[in-house]
Amino acid sequence: MKKSLFLYLFIIAALMNVFTYKYFSGKANDEIKSLKKENKKYKDSTLVLYNNYVDEISFSLAGNFRAQNYYEKYNIDELQETVKQALLSYNDSPDGNKYIDQAKIGEQKFIINRLKFLNHRWIMAEYSNGTVWGEVLLKYFINEQGVVSFETIESYLYPVNLN
């Protein structure tokens, strides 16, 4: 009887080991599948971010090598900073930045808040007077002496939303 008891215990222990092995190997496979799916999701989101970055930089001076070749004798970063400071210096005028094409509304003058270089010739800028916002498309030129001049192409003032 003692021998049959040990035989039954051995069989139960062996079955428990088989079921435990099956359970944990299945659990490991499920975790691997889950991690692969999550990894694919992250790769897809990284790809989306990369594609958005490529789309964004394709319309900028930093990503347009043909436009950079136009200014081959200049350092592009220094050039952008020079042009930016030249444009923002007009914000100090009492009537606001003259390249916005908007007259003062009330007490506040319109000033350029931020800008983006589209290529070697155009800048897109955002402007506001604190309550009303707009955008302007500018042409910029740099002469041989390094003097920067601007020309307004188009300006748009967004309507005030009363809701």
pLDDT tens, N- to C-terminus, the chain (163 residues)? 777 888 888 888 888 888 888 888 888 788 888 888 887 777 778 888 888 888 777 778 877 777 778 878 888 888 889 999 999 999 988 888 899 888 788 788 899 999 999 888 999 999 998 888 999 999 999 888 888 999 999 999 988 776 5
**Tokens for 95?**
């009537």
Query: Among 65, 61, 74, which residue's Cα sits nearest to residue 121?
Result: 61
Residue 163 lies in a domain: no
Number of domains, the chain: 2
Residues 115 and 49 in one domain: no
Residue 39 lies in a domain: yes
**Tokens for 126?**
């955002």
Q: What pLDDT is recorded for position 163? A: 58
> Which domain-ending residue is among 9, 27, 58?
58
Residues 79 and 153 in one domain: yes
Residues 79 and 116 in one domain: yes
Range of the domain at 20: 1-58
Residues 76 and 52 in one domain: no
Q: What pLDDT is recorded for position 151? A: 94
Q: What pLDDT is recorded for position 45? A: 81
Residues 17 and 54 in one domain: yes
Residues 21 and 53 in one domain: yes
Residue 162 lies in a domain: no
Contact 127, 111 (CB under 8 A): yes
Q: What is the CB neighbour count within 10 angstroms for residue 74?
A: 14
Residues 70 and 42 in one domain: no
Residue 136 lies in a domain: yes
Residues 84 and 125 in one domain: yes
Residues 30 and 87 in one domain: no
Residues 50 and 4 in one domain: yes
Integer Cα distance of 127 and 37 in angstroms: 45
Residue 74 lies in a domain: yes
Q: What pLDDT is recorded for position 116? A: 92
Q: What pLDDT is recorded for position 162? A: 61
> Which domain-ending residue is among 24, 42, 58?
58
